[in-house]
Amino acid sequence: MGHNEGEHEQERDDLSADDSLWSDDVWSEGDEGSLSFEDSGEGSEAESDEPEEAAVESDSSEDEVAPKNTVGDVPLEWYKNEEHIGYDISGRKIKKRDREGRIEAYLRNADDAKNWRKIYDEYNDEEVQITKEEAKIISRMLKGKTPHTNVDPYPDYVDWFEYDDKGHPLSSAPEPKRRFVPSKWEQKKVVKLVRAIRNGWIKFDKPKEEPNFYHLWGDETDTADNKRQGLSYIPAPKPNLPGHEESYNPSVEYIPTQEEIDSYQLMYEEDRPKFIPRRFESLRSVPAYEKALREGFDRCLDLYLCPRTRKKRININPESLKPKLPSKKDLRPYPKTCYLEFKGHSAPVKSLSVEITGQWIASGSSDGTIRIWEVETGRCLKVWNVGGDVRHIAWNPAPDRPILAAIVDHDLLLLNVEVGSEEVQMKSKELLRIDESAPEDDADDKKPAVRWVKNEKLDGITLIHHKAVSNVDWHFKGDYFTTVVPSGDTRAVLLHQLSKKHSHHPFSKLPGLPVAAAFHPSQKMFFVATKKFVQVYDLQKAQLVKKLESGLREISSISIHPGGDNVIVGSKDGKLCWFDTDLSTRPYKTLKTHSKDITSVTFHRKYPLFASSSEDCSVYVFHGMVYSDLNQNPLIVPLEILRGHSSSDGRGVLDCKFHPKQPWLFTAGADSVIRLYCD
Amino acid sequence: MPKHYRPPGKKKEGNAAKYITRTKAVNYLQISLATFRKLCILKGVFPRQPKKKVEGNHKTYYHMKDIAFLLHDPLIEKFREIKVHRKKVKKAIAKKNKDLADRLLNRPPTYKLDRLILERYPTFVDALRDLDDCLTMVHLFAALPAVDGERVEVKRIHNCRRLSHEWQAYISRTHSLRKTFISVKGIYYQAEVQGQKITWLTPHALQQVLTDDVDFNVMLTFLEFYETLLGFVNFKLYHSINVNYPPILDSRLEALAAELYALCRYMSAGSGGVTRNSESNRLIEDKKDENNKASSKTDESELRLAQLQHQLPTNEPGALMHLVEESSAADADDDDTKECKSLFKNLKFYLSREVPRESLLFIIPAFGGTVSWEGEGAPFNEVDEDITHQIVDRPTQSHVFLSREYVQPQWVYDCVNARVILPTEGYLVGRVPPPHLSPFVDNDAEGYIPEYAETISRLQAAARNQVLPLPGIGDEDLDNSLVEAMIDRTGSNENAEKKRKLEMLEKQYHDELKMEYEGITFSNLSNSRAENPPDAVEKDDTRSDHEEDANKQAEKDAADITKSLMSRKQRGLLEAIEIHKERKREKVEQLKKRKKNADSSAAKRR
């Protein structure tokens, strides 16, 4: 019925009435008066909301407004032939309207401009006029758009459900029971905690600060308690105290110059000074020391990482290290000062030899001359020009045989010196006569070891060796002599007899290259020095008696004590060995004296003296006392270092010999001078 | 077969049993290397050098007894507990159990080192003997920047600072400081406590930079031990002079970074007696509280401070008793302390800006002086008429008082080392001060006496005569002669040389006479000379040179000649000694040369 009234109203108000009114009416009709009051109250402010409300209400309007006809949703053709179209709410028949004639309808339609908006409602059998809005809606729907303009078909998506931290979609599983029942385990835990708290196992307050320090050491009266337990404690050494140079304002002499600082760069890193003193004008300009932390750390490392040992600091007087020696004054006489110089040679004097009476000396030089000098005056008595490098020279020790053996180049030369009485001279001349006999050794396929050849020019004998000779030594009786041919293999050491002009080579095998050979001063013994050993042979029995081990690198010279039991050996590493053959085959004493090769060692015939000469231009004179008591070891005392020779070509003193009777020493230098040292 | 093979089942003997390598020791103790290191540092266990290194030459060996000593230490168990605790905290945090984590963090397992200290230093003197490193380290850490987030906790730096001040206050109070030295590395101090000489180094009062090339774990472990040690030592020392420990300081002075001064005042107040002390302590505390309340008004607090200052002496048992105690204390002091105590007596110092304040505040009272500084909380200010010396470094002065002397800080240090009041002329502001010499060097042993050291020794001698006019004239003479001898050492050397030369000439003359005596010789000589006269002439010319050389050579030969008979070992030893001597001599020579050069260049400039 509301519908009806509305329709009437609309018809009454003509079509000017807008849909707001219509909808309002719908509300007011359909509900109680209170609602209508509300409606009137909100009237003006609802203006803007109207389209929305209309949009919401429009769909439901048909449902809510009850239709006049109550037949329900039945096919209308059932009432086709009836007079009524149905029944109203009170059960009365609703009569069909009278049909208009076609013409009448047409005319009415033509008159009415709003006719197109009228629709025939078959169900209620009436005509309904569509409002403007409704028409609009219809037209929109025809176009396939949404009925209402203010419906957004594509609104922004709002996700009302938070998926974050959920991990899985919402479960639709029913709430489990345990969510509603108090937990047993929780209860247990609580009980546990309560117990722990009650018993004081869990404490919530911060621990109280106790006084940290107290009288730790007590009275220190009990000494037994005060001992440190365990291993002995080695206190760490204290850091070094600073010296003057560490001052911020050191004295000028402690500051190195720029050149010195530069020169530190050339040093090895470990030698370089760690700290370079600097001077600051005032205390305020001293900067912070950047290595402070580092040095503190290094000290820490030293303290806990360095092994500590107790070391005895030896604080000894260096003088106490030196051996106690008898006073030099008691050991006099010995050569001390240079007394004479024999000059005349023009090249290094290689060797010298003193005549047994001590009146003459002979010297051989590499300028090709052999000179005889008078000792006391320094006069040169004789000069032979042998025309070759004189390497070694030895005077016959027999006083009645003034014969000189000299090694010239490769060979040995025997010369008559022509000193002494007529008779002696004649005798020696006789000795040096040689028959020009055909060499009988020619038959041998081998080249003979030695040939005795007369030297016409110098009126002597030349012993032509198969290889270069290096050393010659006379037997004390003056008839035999020996020569050493270092590269001679089995014929390296040769023995010659002057009177018979005969030579032979008794030693077939030697341990190493021979260097020198010497006769025993009184017995029939023979010493051969090889590079490392000294072999002692008994000539009569022809067998090896002893082998002395020197322990040196290379022996250069040997000398036999006049007693015969002691041997000294000089080496090329500057060491001198004293052998006591009765004591041991090892050196009794090794003296490291010279800085360069020892060229010669020699014993004095009468005095307890021996000397060594070296390439370092020095000659050492020692006191070497051999006691007749076998229980007493020889006494060796260094006495004097004689200097004076100058070096030439890196060579110094080449030979030294004692005077046979006086405590005088002759030295032959590479500076072509012979010197005589006396006490 | 390995070198030191031992059949299985046979027990080790000798070095193999006695010593153990580090790796093996760590395994044996079942701890990590870091823990082992920490344990070694705290227990003072160090590697030892076995006679025979069984396991190899490049390994570190510990004595088995040392390791057993570590094994039985409860500290090992404590370290394990700490490890477990750390794990628990980590787990609680990982399980978001913040409650538990907090609770655990609140009560970490702690350990104390007092037992270790007593073990390592059974007597107090032992502790003092090893205090050098401790003091140097604590002073070094006290100079580090107290900044949060650095590798060193601020709390510990403050603790170091406090401990070092406490130590200095004690030294200053008992006048036991003996020597000081400003070096490039910092300032060295030497004090004598109970007969032990203790030397330590404090860095210059400038910010130190924390470098990356050090392992702070190691250093902090050392520091941990040292902090405890110094705490106990300070406790003992403070109690020996009847002062409570730890001292309660005036917070205001503390805030002004004048802790040392505050401590000194505390000590002078506290020396009245322990019973009194507690009372005064209470007072101080009360005052402190009040101070805190009224800290907003500085004027008021200043007033209170003044009151406090006045109150303290009145609380003491009277000036008379104080005097008595002073005198009795003086009797107990030895001569050295007395001398130190009276060095700066009746002198009043004022420190300007830019001088090492902390150091001077420590030194000057240690030698009996009164001192004040520019800034708040100072006992007296610059306008005080009684000030005798003002210590200034920068030579700009706003107002110059004629009644006082303006000296550079070095003067104080030099006075302290020389134990006399040096004349201030050289140290006046604006001048380059005389060289600062190390008091730790024995100049005589070194073989070289710097010029200024001689000057000082002369001044000392003069001061001694002045101070102690001894009745005997002989003593004075002796003194004088001593000084003279010291000065004239170089002169005497020269004399000796001259004498030697004369002797040489004489000897030569005698030789010639002797030659003449033996007629042959002369003729021979002339003969040989005649052979090559030009050579002889030349020889004559260079004769003196040769002679000198020859003499030197002869001396050397005389020394060398006995060497040839020595055994190799002894010869080596002797040579080592000689090399050492030579090196020392060379050093002295170089110093002399430099000095000479400097002097000549200075003369030229003039």
What digits encode the pLDDT tens for the residues A363-388? 999 998 999 999 888 888 889 888 88
Residue B498 identity (one-letter amino acid):
K
Closest to B228 measured CA to CA, from B316, B138, B158: B138
pLDDT at residue B411 is higher than 50: yes
pLDDT of residue A658: 93
CA A414 to CA A383: how far, in whole Å?
15
Chain B nearest-CA distance from A288, in A, is 6
**Structure tokens, B517:** 């005596």
> Does the distance separating the beta carbons of B137 and A296 come in below 8 Å?
yes
Phi and psi, residue B385, nearest 5°: -75, -20
Chain B nearest-CA distance from A250, in A, is 5
Closest to B508 measured CA to CA, from B550, B542, B536: B550
CA A614 to CA B507: how far, in whole Å?
29
Chain A nearest-CA distance from B23, in A, is 14
Averaged pLDDT for residues B64-70 = 93
> In angstroms, how far is CA B12 from the centroid of its own chain?
46
Closest chain B residue by Cα to residue A314: B573
Nearest to B60 among A241, A281, A307 (CB): A307
Contacts of A308 in chain B (CB under 8 A): 46-49
Chain A nearest-CA distance from B422, in A, is 17
pLDDT at residue A63 is higher than 70: no
Q: Which helix (H) or strand (E) holds A413?
A: strand A411-416
pLDDT in tens, B387-402: 899 998 887 777 788 8
Report the C-alpha dihedral over residues A244, A249, A252, A256, rounded to 10 degrees. 80
pLDDT in tens, A488-526: 878 888 899 888 888 888 887 888 889 999 999 888 899
CB within 8 Å of A106: residues ≥ 6 apart: none
Nearest to B435 among A212, A249, A294 (CB): A249
Nearest to B436 among A234, A249, A591 (CB): A249
CA A95 to CA A82: how far, in whole Å?
9
Which range scores top for mean pLDDT: A547-551, B85-89, B457-461, B562-566? B85-89
pLDDT of residue B293: 40
Chain A nearest-CA distance from B477, in A, is 31
Sign of CA dihedral A440, A442, A444, A449: positive
Nearest to A290 among B209, B218, B561 (CB): B209
Chain A nearest-CA distance from B306, in A, is 31
Averaged pLDDT for residues B428-442 = 89
Closest chain B residue by Cα to residue A622: B561
pLDDT at residue B521 is higher than 50: no
Q: Which helix (H) or strand (E) holds B525?
A: helix B519-531
Closest chain B residue by Cα to residue A325: B562
CA B587 to CA A119: how far, in whole Å?
133
pLDDT of residue B178: 92
Place of tokens 């302290």: B416
CA A506 to CA A494: how far, in whole Å?
7
Nearest to A242 among B181, B408, B566 (CB): B181
pLDDT at residue A18 is higher than 70: no
**Structure tokens, A611:** 């000397």
User: In chain A, what are the helix, strand and coil shares in percent, each to the nearest 5?
Assistant: 25, 30, 50
Instruction: Evaluate whether A448 touches A466 at the Cβ level (below 8 Å).
Output: yes
Closest to B89 measured CA to CA, from B79, B101, B107, B74: B101
DSSP state letters, A318-353? HHHHSPP---GGGG-----EEEEEEE--SS-EEEEE
Which one of A244, A285, A677 makes the best mutation probe of the B interface by having the most chain B beta carbons within 10 Å?
A244
With a pLDDT cut of 70, the percent of chain B lying above it is 74
For B404-429, give one letter per residue: b (16+ CB within 10 A) or e. bbbbbbbbbbbbbbbbbebeeebbeb
Contacts of B41 in chain A (CB under 8 A): 300, 303-304
Where does the pLDDT of residue B495 fall: very low under 50, low under 70, confident under 90, or very high at 90 and above?
low
Averaged pLDDT for residues B300-311 = 43
pLDDT in tens, B340-395: 888 888 889 998 888 888 899 899 989 988 888 887 778 888 888 888 999 988 87
Residue B108 identity (one-letter amino acid):
P
Phi and psi, residue B514, nearest 5°: -65, -45
> Does the distance separating the beta carbons of B573 and A321 come in below 8 Å?
yes
pLDDT of residue B335: 76
Distances (CA, A) of B33 to A169, A297, A298, B30, B430: 52, 19, 19, 9, 57
Chain A nearest-CA distance from B591, in A, is 5
CA A100 to CA A54: how far, in whole Å?
35
Nearest to B524 among A309, A322, A377 (CB): A377
Instruction: Evaluate whether A679 touches A332 at the Cβ level (below 8 Å).
Output: yes
> Does the distance separating the beta carbons of B562 and A243 come in below 8 Å?
no
Chain A nearest-CA distance from B75, in A, is 17
pLDDT at residue A645 is higher than 50: yes
Instruction: Evaluate whether A619 touches A642 at the Cβ level (below 8 Å).
Output: yes
> Does the distance separating the beta carbons of A283 and B408 come in below 8 Å?
yes
pLDDT at residue B306 is higher than 50: no
CA B376 to CA B295: how far, in whole Å?
15
pLDDT of residue B545: 66
pLDDT in tens, B412-429: 999 999 998 999 888 888
pLDDT at residue B490 is higher than 60: no
Chain A nearest-CA distance from B208, in A, is 7
Residue A197 region by backbone torsions, left for phi larger than 0, else alpha for psi between -120 and 50, else beta: alpha
Chain B nearest-CA distance from A486, in A, is 31
CA B297 to CA B17: how far, in whole Å?
73
pLDDT in tens, B192-216: 998 899 999 999 987 788 888 899 9
Closest to A641 measured CA to CA, from B408, B167, B26, B555: B555
pLDDT of residue A124: 81
Calculate the average pLDDT of chain A.
82
Contacts of A235 in chain B (CB under 8 A): 129-130
Nearest to A206 among B106, B231, B239 (CB): B106
Closest chain A residue by Cα to residue B453: A251
Contacts of A232 in chain B (CB under 8 A): none
pLDDT of residue B328: 44
CA A240 to CA A302: how far, in whole Å?
13
> Does the distance separating the beta carbons of B133 and A299 come in below 8 Å?
yes
Nearest to A246 among B232, B438, B557 (CB): B438
Instruction: Evaluate whether A552 touches A591 at the Cβ level (below 8 Å).
Output: no
Which of A100-104, A559-563, A580-584, B82-86 is the least confident region?
A100-104
Nearest to A340 among B181, B441, B524 (CB): B524
pLDDT in tens, A300-345: 999 999 999 888 877 888 888 887 888 888 888 889 888 889 998 9
Averaged pLDDT for residues A142-158 = 87
Residue A343 identity (one-letter amino acid):
K
> Does the distance separating the beta carbons of A216 and B114 come in below 8 Å?
yes
> Does the distance separating the beta carbons of B184 and A243 come in below 8 Å?
no
Chain B nearest-CA distance from A261, in A, is 13
Place of tokens 């509305």: A6
Contacts of A248 in chain B (CB under 8 A): 182-184, 436
Closest chain A residue by Cα to residue B209: A290
pLDDT at residue B339 is higher than 50: yes
Calculate the average pLDDT of chain B.
78
HSE-CB of A329 using CA atoms within 13 angstroms: 0
Instruction: Evaluate whether B399 touches B448 at the Cβ level (below 8 Å).
Output: no
CA A539 to CA A506: how far, in whole Å?
9
3-state secondary structure (DSSP) of residue B98: helix
Closest chain A residue by Cα to residue B44: A304
CB within 8 Å of B536: residues ≥ 6 apart: B529
CA A328 to CA A679: how far, in whole Å?
12
Closest chain B residue by Cα to residue A590: B565
Phi and psi, residue B372, nearest 5°: -140, 170
Higher pLDDT pick, A575 / A19: A575
Which one of B565, B569, B573, B605 makes the best mutation probe of the A interface by having the most chain A beta carbons within 10 Å?
B565
Averaged pLDDT for residues B577-604 = 90
Averaged pLDDT for residues A131-145 = 90
HSE-CB of A456 using CA atoms within 13 angstroms: 1
Higher pLDDT pick, B434 / B305: B434
pLDDT in tens, B231-284: 999 999 998 888 888 887 766 666 655 667 777 777 776 554 333 343 344 444
Chain B nearest-CA distance from A264, in A, is 15
> Does the distance separating the beta carbons of B561 and A303 come in below 8 Å?
no
Report the C-alpha dihedral over residues A225, A228, A230, A233, rounded to 10 degrees. -170
Q: Which helix (H) or strand (E) holds B444?
A: helix B443-446
What pairing do the DSSP bridges indicate for beta strands B348-351 and B370-373?
parallel
Closest to A573 measured CA to CA, from A550, A595, A557, A549: A595
> Does the distance separating the beta carbons of A283 and B410 come in below 8 Å?
yes
Q: Which helix (H) or strand (E) holds B485?
A: helix B473-487
Contacts of B49 in chain A (CB under 8 A): 307-309
> Does the distance separating the beta carbons of B436 and A247 come in below 8 Å?
yes
Closest to B422 measured CA to CA, from B453, B456, B452, B461: B456
**Structure tokens, B242:** 């009847």
pLDDT of residue B376: 76
Cis peptide before A333 (omega within 30 of 0): yes
pTM of the model: 0.65
pLDDT of residue A456: 80
Contacts of A590 in chain B (CB under 8 A): none
Contacts of A278 in chain B (CB under 8 A): 184
Sign of CA dihedral A380, A383, A389, A395: negative
Distances (CA, A) of B364 to A603, B59, B258, B271, B347: 78, 50, 15, 20, 9
> Does the distance separating the beta carbons of A227 and B186 come in below 8 Å?
no
Nearest to B203 among A214, A289, A343 (CB): A289
Nearest to B235 among A213, A231, A640 (CB): A213
Provide the ipTM. Answer: 0.78
pLDDT at residue A221 is higher than 90: no
Distances (CA, A) of A373 to A154, A340, A376, A379, B521: 141, 12, 9, 6, 16
3-state secondary structure (DSSP) of residue B197: strand
3-state secondary structure (DSSP) of residue A425: helix
pLDDT at residue B468 is higher than 60: no
> Does the distance separating the beta carbons of B222 and A216 come in below 8 Å?
no
> Does the distance separating the beta carbons of B528 and A244 come in below 8 Å?
no
Contacts of B525 in chain A (CB under 8 A): 340
CB within 8 Å of B503: residues ≥ 6 apart: none
pLDDT of residue A446: 64
CA B133 to CA B139: how far, in whole Å?
10
pLDDT of residue A436: 60
